[in-house]
């Protein structure tokens, strides 16, 4: 994938040449950047600036042009852009699986297994993670446990969104998109250097499309998208060594609430518990029209989604003498949830109201070594506090029994940590790395109702403490080729359940990984490959459990420490600029994830079976050719395809496993770029095969992925 050089410090970013020419050239197929050499990119995956090709871990870097080229407007698109990554939504909340490690609990009591960060600030709530990709410089996808530098809830890995920062040049851009399903997108950014001390950067986006679902007998609105987002950066440079970045950001996810389709759109089987599940489900390809049909008539009770996240961030950097750099990061995120979802729950139409708010505050003070010394290091302390209130209910729609499930929980999360990592250069080629982190987590909750109308509810508190470590060695086989090996651990904090307050233990993961990274053919070919093996203990598995009736009248989200597991696999990525006009991208991932001894209930034995959300393989290939026109304009044609192996989505409590068969999704785009590189126009088609895939499971229904879409984009810069 094309990459852009980025800076590790705000001062360098302020003085850098404008990046838009690189962005335009990568997206718009311009001959000015259609060169053989693949540019190196500087990343901060290990909380210190270093080249991606010299970072000893499995890492994918996606530049702003990569995201625009793929039409990626939110995190779900990363499924198509990075190996062994599967990102979906569940009732408007984000679910991230990396190498088969995932958390399916998107309620107030749950936490993601992936550390999701924006400019270094952790985003805890899954509804706040689903904001638009707005004016991004790059995304770093770290695969494997990141317990040392990113702490708790990073057993799967980390996703770091890095935004474009203010520079010294007055510049701006505007991009627009029109497509089927009434798709409309407008995004713009402007950079204003106020004086030698202050620079501002503002960006905003509006994205909408109609529902991808077919209404069937419905006359109400189904799941769609109507999002807005805005951000303002203010960068102050006091001295060459001291800077302060202030950020205000607001994102709204609007439109109709999440909707599901019936299980029977994809599977045959015998209904269980009034239709919550299907016994012995068999996949039947009924075609996209049937798969996308919401067959039940939902309630006309005001379907909507109005989820708003407001963020304030502060990052202060300064140099302490000649020995160290000091960084202090503070972030406050307030998220409001106001959502009404319609779906086929428990075998008949129901609607689900979710209202509430959460506020999180995080502090990180970090010291990094500075200067070219044999020993480089990073050390810091971290504090995270979160208060959550949710009110949710499930209500039936006639015909059917009358059901009302009420939840009004208050949850408080606290996390404290100290961490450090050092790398010692033994000689010009060999480096050793050792890191450790100690974390203390407390989670408290109270719900006077917990699924009933009268109580008794629950009061619960869990405490978790863990020390994680990382040991690594890397060696330069050649000036541009590095091999590495690592042993690392990660941990996800324990919690409690929403009907009884019963606790579950933390999950722990130990990873052994080896890899190689290199640039070849005079920097025209970049390749990386890794093998990994996980020892996964006390895996937290989540399902919806209903007690004893076919009406769904006493149901809740149950998380248990279900099983130990192993996961092993191989990953490879390559970018090849065969000529200035011919570019190839390739990625490959395998994940052989198996339960050890595991009986999800008294009747079923899943020992040795494939774990959920872990396709046995996924691979993508793209090719782009640029045609130069006589007037200096260019036309680029890009085609790409992704093959994904079969995977399971399961309900352990019912002992039911739904198998999504292997599928393929292909894209094509044709882009015209003006001779002066100042505007472009593009036509695209995504998911040419119209493959409809299973994203999430609720009692009685599935959330599904997007169908085939097409449209045109255009943009200009100044």
Cβ–Cβ < 8 Å for 437, 470: no
Cβ–Cβ < 8 Å for 569, 529: no
Instruction: Calculate mean pLDDT across residues 431-438.
Output: 96
Extract the tokens encoding 185: 């997108």
Residue 17 pLDDT more than 60?
no
Task: Supply the DSSP string of 579-640, one letter for each residue.
Answer: ETTEEEEEEEEE-EEEESS--SSSS---TTPBPTT--SEEEEEEEEEEEEPTTS-EEEEEEE
81-95, 452-466, 596-610: range with highest mean pLDDT: 596-610
Supply φ then ψ for residue 250, to 5 degrees: -140, 130
Q: What is the pLDDT of residues 141-199, one digit of tens each?
A: 999 999 899 988 899 999 999 999 999 999 999 999 999 999 999 999 999 999 999 99
Cβ neighbours for 706, distance < 8 A, ≥ 6 positions apart? 212, 686, 687
Nearest to 562 by CA among 651, 682, 478, 473: 651
Q: What is the pLDDT of residues 661-699, one digit of tens each?
A: 999 999 999 999 999 989 999 999 999 999 999 998 888
Is residue 354 domain-resident?
yes
Supply φ then ψ for residue 275, to 5 degrees: 105, 5
Residue-wise over 478-494: b if at least 16 C-beta within 10 A, else e? eebebebbbebbbbbbb
- pLDDT band at residue 23, thresholds of 50, 70 and 90? very low
Is residue 245 domain-resident?
yes
Nearest to 505 by CA among 556, 458, 457, 466: 466
Cβ–Cβ < 8 Å for 233, 166: yes
Is residue 383 domain-resident?
yes
User: 């008539």: which residue's tokens?
Assistant: 297
The DSSP call for residue 516 is: E
Tally of CB atoms within 10 A around 219: 8
Report d(CA 693, CA 440) in Å as an integer.
Answer: 39
- The pLDDT of residue 440 is 95
Report d(CA 634, CA 58) in Å as an integer.
Answer: 35
Q: What is the CA radius of gyration of the chain?
A: 25
Q: What is the pLDDT of residues 535-564, one digit of tens each?
A: 999 998 887 776 544 445 566 778 888 889
- The pLDDT of residue 344 is 63
Cβ–Cβ < 8 Å for 639, 671: no
CA distances from 322 to 91, 139, 242, 325, 326 (A): 51, 31, 13, 8, 12
Extract the tokens encoding 225: 């998208």
Report d(CA 590, CA 177) in Å as an integer.
Answer: 35
CA distances from 331 to 87, 113, 219, 383, 532 (A): 25, 21, 42, 11, 34
- Measured in whole angstroms, the distance separating CA 140 from the mean position of its chain's CA atoms is 10
Residue, of 708 and 655, whose pLDDT is higher: 708
Dihedral angle at the C-alpha atoms of 146, 151, 156, 160, nearest 10 degrees? Answer: -80
Could you list the residue range(s) of the whole structural domain that residue 352 is in? 10-295+312-717
Q: How many domains does the chain have?
A: 1
Cβ neighbours for 492, distance < 8 A, ≥ 6 positions apart? 103, 111, 113, 152, 153, 154, 155, 506, 507, 508, 540
Is residue 302 domain-resident?
no
Q: What is the pLDDT of residues 356-390, one digit of tens each?
A: 999 999 999 999 998 788 999 999 999 999 999 98
Q: What is the CATH number of the domain that holds 77?
A: 2.40.170.20
Is residue 303 domain-resident?
no
Task: Supply the DSSP string of 23-40, one letter for each residue.
Answer: HHHHHHT-TTS--SPPPP
Q: What percent of the chain has pLDDT over 90?
A: 64
CA distances from 305 to 85, 342, 356, 366, 702 (A): 27, 11, 12, 38, 19
15-19, 125-129, 702-706: range with highest mean pLDDT: 702-706
Is residue 562 domain-resident?
yes
- Measured in whole angstroms, the distance separating CA 161 from the mean position of its chain's CA atoms is 9
The DSSP call for residue 266 is: T
Extract the tokens encoding 495: 């919690």
CA distances from 57 to 8, 141, 264, 622 (A): 19, 11, 42, 24
Tally of CB atoms within 10 A around 616: 17
Provide the mean pLDDT of the chain: 88
Report d(CA 701, CA 293) in Å as an integer.
Answer: 11
Environment class of 338 (CB within 10 Å of its CB; exposed 0-12, middle 13-18, buried 19+): middle
Residue 711 pLDDT more than 90?
yes
CA distances from 253 to 32, 85, 100, 152, 223 (A): 38, 23, 27, 27, 12
Instruction: Calculate mean pLDDT across residues 584-599.
Output: 94
Is residue 442 domain-resident?
yes
Is residue 300 domain-resident?
no
- The pLDDT of residue 402 is 59
Cβ neighbours for 388, distance < 8 A, ≥ 6 positions apart? 108, 125, 356, 357, 358, 409, 410, 411, 412, 413
Report d(CA 590, CA 618) in Å as an integer.
Answer: 6
- CA pseudo-torsion sign 537, 538, 540, 545: positive
């Amino acid at each position: 994938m094309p990459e852009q050089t980025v800076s590790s410090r705000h001062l360098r970013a302020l003085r850098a040449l404008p990046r838009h020419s690189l962005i335009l050239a990568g997206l718009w197929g311009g001959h000015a950047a259609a060169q053989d050499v693949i540019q190196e990119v500087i990343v901060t995956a290990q909380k210190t600036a270093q080249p991606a090709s010299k970072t000893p871990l499995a890492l994918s870097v996606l530049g702003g042009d990569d995201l625009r080229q793929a039409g990626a407007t939110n995190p779900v698109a990363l499924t198509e852009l990075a190996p062994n990554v599967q990102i979906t939504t569940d009732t408007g909340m984000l679910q991230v699986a990396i190498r088969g490690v995932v958390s399916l609990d998107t309620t107030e009591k749950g936490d993601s297994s992936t550390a999701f960060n924006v400019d270094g600030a952790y985003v805890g709530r899954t509804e706040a993670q689903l904001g638009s990709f707005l004016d991004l410089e790059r995304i770093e996808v770290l695969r494997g446990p990141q317990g040392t530098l990113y702490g708790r809830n990073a057993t799967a890995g980390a996703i770091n969104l890095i935004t474009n920062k203010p520079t010294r040049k007055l510049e701006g851009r505007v991009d627009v998109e029109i497509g089927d399903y009434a798709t409309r997108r407008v995004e713009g950014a402007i950079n204003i250097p106020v004086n030698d001390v202050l620079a501002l950067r503002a960006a905003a986006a509006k994205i909408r499309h109609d529902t991808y679902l077919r209404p069937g007998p419905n006359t109400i609105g189904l799941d769609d998208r109507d999002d807005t987002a805005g951000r303002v950066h203010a960068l102050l440079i006091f001295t060459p060594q001291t800077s302060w970045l202030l950020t205000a950001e607001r994102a709204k996810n609007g439109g109709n609430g999440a909707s599901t389709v019936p299980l029977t759109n994809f599977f045959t089987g015998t209904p269980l518990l009034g239709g919550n599940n299907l016994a012995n489900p068999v996949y039947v390809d009924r075609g996209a029209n049937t798969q996308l049909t919401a067959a039940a008539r939902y309630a006309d009770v005001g379907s909507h989604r109005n989820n708003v996240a407001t963020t304030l961030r502060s990052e202060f950097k300064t140099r302490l003498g000649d020995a160290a750099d000091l960084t202090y990061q503070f972030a406050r995120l307030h998220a409001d949830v106001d959502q009404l979802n319609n779906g086929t729950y428990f075998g008949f139409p129901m609607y689900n109201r979710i209202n509430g708010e959460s506020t999180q505050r995080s502090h990180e003070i970090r010291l990094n070594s500075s200067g070219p010394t044999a020993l480089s290091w990073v050390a810091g302390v971290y504090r995270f506090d979160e208060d959550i209130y949710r009110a949710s209910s499930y209500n039936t729609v006639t015909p059917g029994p009358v059901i009302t499930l009420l939840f009004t929980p208050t949850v408080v999360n606290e996390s404290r940590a100290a961490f450090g990592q050092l790398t010692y250069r033994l000689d010009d080629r060999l480096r050793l790395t050792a890191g450790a982190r100690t974390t203390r987590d407390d989670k408290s909750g109270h719900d006077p109702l917990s699924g009933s109308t009268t109580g008794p509810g629950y009061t619960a508190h869990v405490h978790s403490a863990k020390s994680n470590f990382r040991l690594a060695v890397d060696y330069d086989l050649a000036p541009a080729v590095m091999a590495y090996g690592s042993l690392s651990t990660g941990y996800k904090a324990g919690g409690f359940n929403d009907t009884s307050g019963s606790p579950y233990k933390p999950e722990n993961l130990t990873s052994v990984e080896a890899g190689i990274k290199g640039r070849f053919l005079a920097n025209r070919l970049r390749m990386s490959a890794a093998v990994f093996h996980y020892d996964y203990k006390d895996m937290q598995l989540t399902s919806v459990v209903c007690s004893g009736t076919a009406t769904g009248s006493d149901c809740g989200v149950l998380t248990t420490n279900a099983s130990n597991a192993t996961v092993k696999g191989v990953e490879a990525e390559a970018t090849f600029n065969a000529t200035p006009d011919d570019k190839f991208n390739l990625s490959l991932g395998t994940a052989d994830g198996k339960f050890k001894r595991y009986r999800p209930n008294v009747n079923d034995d899943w020992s040795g079976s494939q774990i959920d959300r872990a396709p046995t393989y996924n691979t993508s290939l793209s090719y782009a050719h640029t045609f130069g026109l006589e007037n200096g304009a260019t036309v680029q044609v890009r085609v790409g395809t992704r093959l994904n192996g079969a995977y399971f989505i399961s309900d352990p409590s019912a002992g039911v496993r739904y198998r999504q068969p292997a599928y393929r999704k292909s894209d094509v785009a044709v882009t015209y770029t003006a001779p002066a590189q100042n505007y472009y126009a593009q036509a695209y088609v995504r998911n040419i095969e119209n493959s409809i895939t299973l994203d999430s499971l609720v009692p009685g229904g599935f959330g599904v992925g997007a169908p085939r879409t097409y449209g045109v984009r255009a943009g200009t810069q100044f």
